[in-house]
Structure 1
Amino acid sequence: MASSELDSKGKKKILTATLTSVMGVVLLGLSLMLYFWKRFTRKKNDPKRRTSGSHTESHKKDLDLPLFDFNTISKATNNFSIENKLGEGGFGPVYKGTLEEGQEIAVKRLSKTSLQGVDEFKNEVICIAKLQHRNLVRLLGYCIQGEENMLIYEYMPNKSLDFILFDQRKSRFLDRNKRFQIVNGIARGLIYLHQDSRLRIIHRDLKASNILLDNDMSPKISDFGTARSFGGNEVEVKTNRVVGTYDYMSPEYAMHGQFSIKSDVFSFGVLVLEIVSGKRNSGFFGGDQHLNLLGHAWTLYREERSLELIDAYLCDSANPSEVQRLIHIGLLCVQQRPDDRPSMTTVLAMLSNEVVLPQANNPGFFTGDELVDEDVPRIIAASSTNELTITQLEAR
């Protein structure tokens, strides 16, 4: 063959080989792009990723709080040992820890089976991070790593109010001064939440187990997972998801999902009557009448026998007229109609003897029998060992 013909065929072979190689590279590139695109899509839609990575980025943008490393918290709590466990609520277990520099902390660890989820976790972090008051528990930071979601709080050595108040042996140390100090501190904390903070906050789950006590027995309101912030013009809000603890829940909220600052006032009133009596609202009193604490206090009030409500350990140190006034204030706070209840600012003035107390009207939910009604929604409550509960309403 002529050399010119050989050169022509050689060039064709080189061109064919080159084109084949290029097509192969292109196909391989397209295949790799398709593979990584599918992998990225799966990760993006993975619920675990949504509850960790995306929320982590959201927290970092929204908050100005220290982000603790998981290993640091694990070491501080001795790998979340049972000996360090303080209790367990709707959010999950709470552990005592000690950081390397010696600071004691309380760690709330979101449980995988928790009735509260990442939304409540984020809500609590955002709410409490922007609130600063001596009667609110202080959030030191948070930890998000993989499926782990934890809140790091200042440690309260005297635990929660219910731990002492409802224990016959421990409650004897709650004299008149300490109980009045606790009532006043809770009132001041609520005033801050309702009107003095940058956000207007309705707590929605104020109860004895959510009042923590420091070394001096000063109260600090905790657990803002179900709290709700109000806009400037909002007075009342209605929700289809009722959360909280039934024994402290106002009638309009439990039955109709309507809540306002007066819902917190009702819960405060229940707390006042519990602090004076040393008894839970959920107990039954009055013999055959099956009255709860509100009903029992109301009956004694109408019969001018309110002093019979006082805790036996309070009798020796209490001024009778002072305690009687405190019971009266508690009953004003738990009145059936929200408009009849005083604001927390007025309550503080009442506690300081600055105003004359009006006559109290019927309290809400003051007998067990009243709640057996076809029009009242069925309530499902998931409780825990220390009564940190989430309650949801279901229609009949």
Structure 2
Amino acid sequence: MLCSKTRYFCASFASGSFLRNFSCTSAKPQANSENGRSLVGRDFISLKHFRADDIKQFLWTAKDLKTRMKDNGEIFQPLKGKTAALIFQKRSTRTRMSTELGMAKLGGHAAFMGPEDVHLGASQESFCSKLFSLFNIFARVLSGMADIVLARVYGQDFLDELANEASIPVISGLSDLLHPLQILADFMTLQEHFGYLRGLKIAWIGDGNNILHSLMYGCAKLGVDLNVATPAGYEPDPNITEDALKIAGKTGANFLMGSDPVQAVYRADAIVTDTWVSMGQEEEKKKRIKDFAGYQINRKMLKEAGGNWVFLHCLPRKQEEVTDDIFYSEESLVWQEAENRMWTVMAVMLHLLQPYTPINPMPKFVRG
């Protein structure tokens, strides 16, 4: 029989009213405070919960690991004997491969569980019907078996409560609201290409989705300028927009929010977009493609972009989102961006499990 908290949570979840403030007694100390210095034991759920220095540390370590292991051919296995449990309600080749291969490179082992393995269906209704078992089995039992959990799900509330119940670190592999790992990969890619982050102007063209939400938090935290153009009705979450703008006001990041893609790409250094039809939105495909008319990334749109602009897309890509001559061009960094998904999740797992100081110099974050 479900407890009253669980019944209330499920009813609100199924009706579309997410309980942002729902909480239970945590099985571990809540380390998501920005006042904490150590990253060990933290949950990686949102960039909002991390200081600029924390984000820089993740990026520094990702570059350090890439240099040591890929460029220098070093075998480095600090996580030997450690295990990661991967819970996937939403499928993803890149997230699964980057995490499994990354954990293996660090000497650990990852165990993958899809919806059929954890008895968690793809629908929200199925999710709610199994919520009680999920909290008890996944959060509590896995806390005794694994050292870390990465979950890729539909509802952000599930990640929040999983982190609240588990006594081991929980990493977001994506939710419908946020995708913080993708932004670390994007920042690492831009830092490798330009040599810095603060001083760049990033333009987001497309849907006001989970990737944009995390990009807004990341840019605000690091003081990176961001221009956003989304069609009417597809704007980012107003609460996240308000949060990000408050943070940007403190760090000096300039945000331009609107619907004109040509204005957004003006003098931009990086042009970023994503799929217009995400998983779970297949029934909206025809309407979305119609609503996003004029938002395809093409040469004409980018006439007034910065002189050395680059293009990013988290994949998979559809041709209506960006033309072939840009997607496969020298300006496109999508393959480097995809590879960096592995190095950044490796950095996150390493820091959440044990202290680590990179041996290579810290990369620059500010131009000049």
Range into which the TM-score falls when normalised by the shorter chain:
under 0.3
Q: Which has the higher contact order (CA 8 A, sep 6+)?
A: 2
TM-score by length of 2: 0.24
- Which is higher, the Rg of structure 1 or of structure 2? 1
TM-score by length of 1: 0.23
